[in-house]
Amino acid sequence: MARAKAPAPALAAVGETPLTVLSGCGPRVAEKLAARGLACLQDLWLQLPRQYEDRTRLTPIRALQPGVAAQVEGRVEAVERGFRYRPMLRVAIGDDSGATLVLRFFHFRAAQVAQFEPGARLRCYGTPRPGQHGLEIVHPSYRLLDAADGGALGDQLDPVYPAIEGIGPASLRRLIGLALDRLPSDDALELLPRALRDSLQLPSLREALLTVHRPAQGSDIAALLAGLHPAQRRLALEELLAHHLSLRRQRIAQQAHAAPVLERMALAEKLRGALPFALTGAQQRVFEQIRVDLGKPHPMLRLVQGDVGSGKTVVAALAAMLAVDTGKQAALMAPTELLAEQHLNNLRGWLEPLGVRVAWLAGKVTGRARAHVLAEVASGEAQVVVGTHALMQEGVAFGDLALAIVDEQHRFGVHQRLALRDKGAGGIVGEAAIVPHQLVMTATPIPRTLAMAAYADLDVSAIDELPPGRTPVQTVALSAERRPELVERIRAACAEGRQAYWVCTIIDESDEVVAQAAQGTFEALSAQLPRLRVGLVHGRMKATDKQATMRAFKDGAIDLLVATTVIEVGVDVPNASLMIVENAERLGLAQLHQLRGRVGRGSAVSSCVLLYRSPLSIMARQRLETMRETNDGFVIAEKDLELRGPGELLGTRQTGLAGFRVADLARDADLLPQVQELGERLLRESPEIAERIVARWVGGAARYASA
């Protein structure tokens, strides 16, 4: 019997055609493209210009602005070659506007020099910057106009693509052009429902791609340059959708796993009754959400956001009790040893009186001690295990891990989070593998829209209330010249029985350089404040010394702690009421907020002094102002988003968000509600289309560990 003929390749598959079909794309070029993840036609279609050069018009030299790229035309007025430090060629050109522009070259050939005869007409494009003699452009792209060349202006914006190692810009532009020539018809390419495009007045994918790559004459150039053109919005929408779908898909896969049902509340109730304080309303609410999650036979995946000092640890401890009560284990992982140790101390203080065994595992636990802990962890004797990255290492096997808690999760990558989850005992229910529940906590709140985009694979809770009795930290920014006054201030605070932090930061630092700076500051302050007990912690110290110093500070045996940003995360010393941060202008908002969160933890009025060096950049000034104006982590997060953009805010390691091609979460945030709604609908009604959208934008090589 004749076999049915294989179906003709679907048009959609055109996108998957390897790039070697393009003329000029041999194996060597293909390899270079592949190194950047560009393997098929579709990848080139989506390789979008990072900006445009506008050669459709000329700017009079007099009207040039520093930092704004422009095209100018002029006649060569003077040429100068210099050799003083290195070869250099300067060409001054002037135009009818009566101004002069200097073109400066560091690499040039003799033939090139000969071209620049005085009087020659030159058209060039580049970004002018202030130079020795007015504005200059270093290495402009240029062309000589002769009598035959009337110098017609371009009629469309020239796309500028992200550079690819080993492929010149012109070749790249040509290859992308050839790929675009093979774009299938609208219908074959389109995946978004027509109604949606119409309602948002967005073009088809084909049209959008052509507009973005080859903006036609008359396109809204300003909109394109700003990334606000409907064509770009259309692409951003689809890209955001693809990311959303990919996260949702992982979540669905995750939820298909089984997890132990944890519903015994006796221990948690006991702990709650034994605490020296009552939970805040927000803590109660979030714990209740966690309790409901843990009572289900599917893994919890919950992110708890809570400002510094909002009391996340105790909520985690309560959750851990549900695992212990069921005869299983909970693990709590923190990004630094200092923080992990603090958790250990807190948990031991709370849990050991209840008869719960808390074990400790960090890199520095070695030899016999380590073997002993590993045995306890493996047997299940250790009911709660606290530690650092060491928890995830090979050779660490839990007897029966039911709840994996990750603190300050923004410090970890997604992979690390999943690695802890994979420490579960395994086993199968029906067809589903059994995995632990996951609770992740962060004190770096992110704006709601972003949270929805970044954590579509997680449920998000917020502890949005501080325990009672905290007074807001008063923040001032002071120029570094006023440093001497601070010594007095520290003396005064400590005389009242308070404690203080002095935080040393340097930019571009190696641990070692910062450690040296901290050492220097420590010595200077010790000399200036002979009656105070001054301590020092930095990243180069032995962990035991670090811990001893922190403990002494916590116990009140040290008045002033000189520290590097190792103290940034989580450290809790309620009696500390003064913090001085050096070089505050160099730190980001999130980090400043984290640091400041070390004070204002008790009932005393606390202050934070941000020392800066002038002159301040506009951004730095805004950051310091924001810090002075508010203590609210969510407000600061919004501001941070505005100043820095989402990629940096979220960190590239934990989400694929920084890797967007067109979308910009700050700019396109208004699309997110649509993205979510549409995403849910597609998953419900047309999962195969959802699949194709993910494949198109996120690719088969998912950026995440498979769920």
Cα–Cα distance list, 189 to 115, 146, 230, 666 (Å): 48, 45, 18, 28
| Nearer to Mg ion among residue 215 and residue 570 (C-beta) | 570
Residue type, 572: D
Is the torsion defined by CA of 513, 517, 520, 526 positive or negative? negative
- Contact call for residues 302 and 291 (beta carbons, < 8 A): no
| Nearer to Mg ion among residue 570 and residue 646 (C-beta) | 570
306 binds, among ligand ADP, Mg ion, none (CB under 5 to 8 A by kind): ligand ADP
277 binds, among Mg ion, ligand ADP, none (CB under 5 to 8 A by kind): ligand ADP
Cα–Cα distance list, 655 to 106, 127, 217, 243, 704 (Å): 41, 34, 38, 10, 8
Radius of gyration (Cα) for the chain, nearest Å? 30
| Nearer to ligand ADP among residue 126 and residue 306 (C-beta) | 306
Report helix, strand or coil for 497: coil
CB 275, min distance to ligand ADP, A: 8
572 binds, among Mg ion, ligand ADP, none (CB under 5 to 8 A by kind): ligand ADP
Cα–Cα distance list, 262 to 285, 319, 403, 617 (Å): 18, 9, 9, 53
CB 426, min distance to ligand ADP, A: 31
Instruction: Please tell me whether residue 311 binds Mg ion under the rule CB under 5 A.
Output: no
Given the rule CB under 5 A, which of 256-264, 278-286, 413-421, 566-574 is the region that contacts Mg ion?
566-574
**To which residue do tokens 């259309």 refer?**
234
Given the rule CB under 5 A, which of 262-270, 326-334, 382-390, 567-575 is the region that contacts Mg ion?
567-575
CB 407, min distance to ligand ADP, A: 7
CB 13, min distance to Mg ion, A: 50
- Contact call for residues 434 and 427 (beta carbons, < 8 A): yes
CB 628, min distance to Mg ion, A: 24
219 binds, among ligand ADP, Mg ion, none (CB under 5 to 8 A by kind): none
CB 283, min distance to ligand ADP, A: 6
309 binds, among ligand ADP, Mg ion, none (CB under 5 to 8 A by kind): ligand ADP
CB 270, min distance to ligand ADP, A: 17
| Nearer to ligand ADP among residue 309 and residue 436 (C-beta) | 309
**To which residue do tokens 């641990």 refer?**
511
Report helix, strand or coil for 260: coil
505 binds, among ligand ADP, Mg ion, none (CB under 5 to 8 A by kind): none
Interacting residues of 226 by C-beta distance below 8 A, sequence separation 6+: none
CB 457, min distance to Mg ion, A: 22
* Spatial distance between the Cα atoms of 371 and 362, rounded to a whole number of angstroms: 12
- Contact call for residues 333 and 304 (beta carbons, < 8 A): no
Q: Which own/partner pairs from 117-122 qualify as long-range (CB within 8 Å, at least 24 positions apart)?
A: 117/76, 117/79, 118/75, 118/76, 118/77, 118/78, 118/79, 119/75, 119/76, 120/75, 120/76, 120/144, 121/73, 121/74, 121/75, 121/145, 121/146, 121/151, 122/73, 122/74, 122/75, 122/76, 122/91, 122/93
Instruction: Please tell me whether residue 535 binds Mg ion under the rule CB under 5 A.
Output: no
- Angle, CA 88 vertex, CA 85 and CA 94 arms, to 5°: 140
| Nearer to Mg ion among residue 572 and residue 648 (C-beta) | 572
| Nearer to ligand ADP among residue 232 and residue 280 (C-beta) | 280
279 binds, among Mg ion, ligand ADP, none (CB under 5 to 8 A by kind): ligand ADP
| Nearer to Mg ion among residue 106 and residue 277 (C-beta) | 277
184 binds, among ligand ADP, Mg ion, none (CB under 5 to 8 A by kind): none
| Nearer to Mg ion among residue 36 and residue 551 (C-beta) | 551
283 binds, among ligand ADP, Mg ion, none (CB under 5 to 8 A by kind): ligand ADP
Number of residues that bind Mg ion (CB under 5 A): 1
HSE-up of 478 (CA within 13 Å, CB side)? 18
| Nearer to Mg ion among residue 546 and residue 598 (C-beta) | 598
Taking CB under 5 A as the criterion, which residues in 171-230 touch Mg ion? none
260 binds, among ligand ADP, Mg ion, none (CB under 5 to 8 A by kind): none
Give the helix/strand (H/E) hosting 503: strand 499-503
- Burial (CB count <10 Å: 0-12, 13-18, 19+), residue 210: middle
Structure token digits, residue 68? 């704004």
Report helix, strand or coil for 7: coil
CB 424, min distance to Mg ion, A: 24
CB 570, min distance to ligand ADP, A: 6
CB 441, min distance to ligand ADP, A: 7
CB 409, min distance to ligand ADP, A: 12
Which of 128, 55, 69 shows the shortest CA–CA distance to 93? 128
Given the rule CB under 5 A, which of 234-242, 534-542, 569-577, 599-607 is the region that contacts Mg ion?
569-577
| Nearer to ligand ADP among residue 247 and residue 573 (C-beta) | 573
| Nearer to ligand ADP among residue 270 and residue 483 (C-beta) | 270
Cα–Cα distance list, 445 to 307, 408, 462 (Å): 7, 11, 9
Interacting residues with ligand ADP (CB under 6 A): 277, 279-280, 283, 306, 308-314, 443, 467, 570, 572, 601
Chain position whose Cβ is nearest to ligand ADP: 311
Structure token digits, residue 570? 């989580």
Give the helix/strand (H/E) hosting 483: helix 483-495
Instruction: Please tell me whether residue 570 binds Mg ion under the rule CB under 5 A.
Output: yes
Beta bridge partners of 145: 121
In angstroms, how far is the first alpha carbon of the chain from the final one? Answer: 43
CB 347, min distance to ligand ADP, A: 11
Residues that bind Mg ion (CB under 5 A): 570
